[in-house]
Structure formats: structure tokens, C-alpha cells
Amino acid sequence: MQRVETRLMDTTERPADDFLDLAKVLLLMQGSILVATTIEAVIWGMAFAGAAATGSLLSFAAAAVILVARARLSADRRWSRRLVYFVEAFTLTFLAVDLVLAIALTGTPPPAVAVLTRFVLPVSVIFLLRQSARATAAAASRGVNPALEGAS
């Protein structure tokens, strides 16, 4: 019990910028993957006559949202966090569908890289942004400027 409490304290006492810093790196990675996915979707669209353009458009939109939100991400910008949460929730929902299909049809989970890029990455980003928001709120309640907290 004591160990659990210690671990919780370890995270909640981290400066908000530390979590935001790592979240931005993960978002850059995710945005880059989405850009590559958009390019692939466009190429598939040219290769297969009649391939749906929706995938290219949605991939481009997701890449743009992630990269713009990453650039605007800061402790006091709630809308950019909400945009990221929306894209991550969308990604996780489709992964859930794919997971059910994979288990039902082949009895195996999706490939390891798909699990990393579509589960571990989004969940990590959500976790880090939430920790950052909590650390910011905790610092504000103590009357500390979150931007200066890490420098002390």
C-alpha cells in the first residue's frame, strides 16, 4: 500500500513540463506516422481503381490535428489537449474493432507494431497529458507558477 502511495506521489510531484515534454515527443512520432499513412493511402488510392478517398482525407486530418495540437500544446491550453484526446479515442476505437476481428478470424492479436503505434502510443499520450494537467492543477492550488516549477 505504502509503495503504491509512494509511486503516486512520484508522478504527481513531477513538474508539468516534464510530462508535456515527453508527450510532445510522442505526438511528433504519432504525427509522422500519420503523415506516412496519408501518403500510403494516397498511393493505394491511385493503385486500386475505386479505392475510397475517405481514408486519405481522414488520415491527413488526423495528422494535421496531432501536429498542430502538438505545436500549440502547453499547460494552459485545454482545447489542444481535447483535440488530441479526440484523435486518440478515434484511433483506439478502430483498434478495438480490428482486435475483435483479428481474434475472431485468426485467433491471434494484430501485429506487434500495430499494437505499439495504435495502442501503446495513444494510451501513453493520454496518460502523459492527464498527468501534466494534474501536475499543473496541483501547482496552481499551491500558488506556484507551473512554468517555473521545474526550474526550482
Partner 1 sequence: MNLPVEQEHAAGGSPLYQISAEHSAAVFALGLLLVGMWLLRQRGARDLAPSLAPADWLLAGLLAASAAIHAGLAIGQDHATGIRLLFLLDALALGVIARRVLAGAGAGRLGVAVLAASILAYWGSALGGAAPDQVGLATKLGEILALAIVVRPAPSRRGPSLRSVAGSFAIGLLVLGTATSSWVGAFRASAADPGAVAGHHVHAGGVAPPGTVLPVVPEREPTAAERVAAVDLVNTARVALARYADPAVAAADGYRVNGLAGIDFHAANAANENDDRVLDPAHPETLVYAVAPDGRPVLMGAMFLMPKIGAPGPTIGGPLTVWHAHEHVCFSLTPPGLAGLLSPLGMCPVGTIDMPLTAEMIHIWIVPGAPEPFGDLDEAWKRAYLQATATRP
Strands (E), the chain: none
State yes or no: residue 98 binds partner 1 (CB under 8 A).
Answer: yes
Residue among 17, 73, 125, 139 that touches partner 1 (CB under 8 A): 17
Residue among 8, 36, 89, 123 that touches partner 1 (CB under 8 A): 36
State yes or no: residue 9 binds partner 1 (CB under 8 A).
Answer: no
State yes or no: residue 64 binds partner 1 (CB under 8 A).
Answer: no
Q: Could you identify the residue written with the cell 509512494?
A: 6
Residue among 114, 133, 137, 140 that touches partner 1 (CB under 8 A): 114
H/E run at residue 92: helix 78-106
Distance, in Å, from the CA atom of 19 to the CA atom of 135, rounded to the nearest integer, reads 9
By the 10 Å C-beta count (0-12 exposed, 13-18 middle, 19+ buried), 104 is classed as: exposed
Half-sphere exposure at residue 112, Cβ-oriented, CA atoms within 13 angstroms: 0
State yes or no: residue 34 binds partner 1 (CB under 8 A).
Answer: yes
Residue among 8, 44, 82, 86 that touches partner 1 (CB under 8 A): 44
Question: Least distance in Å: CB of 83 to partner 1?
Answer: 14
b (16+ CB within 10 A) / e for 7-23: eeeeeeebbbbbbbeeb
Q: Which residues bind partner 1 (CB under 8 A)?
A: 14, 17-22, 24-26, 28-29, 31-41, 43-45, 48-52, 54-56, 58-59, 61-62, 71, 90-91, 94, 97-98, 101-102, 105-106, 108-118, 128, 147, 150
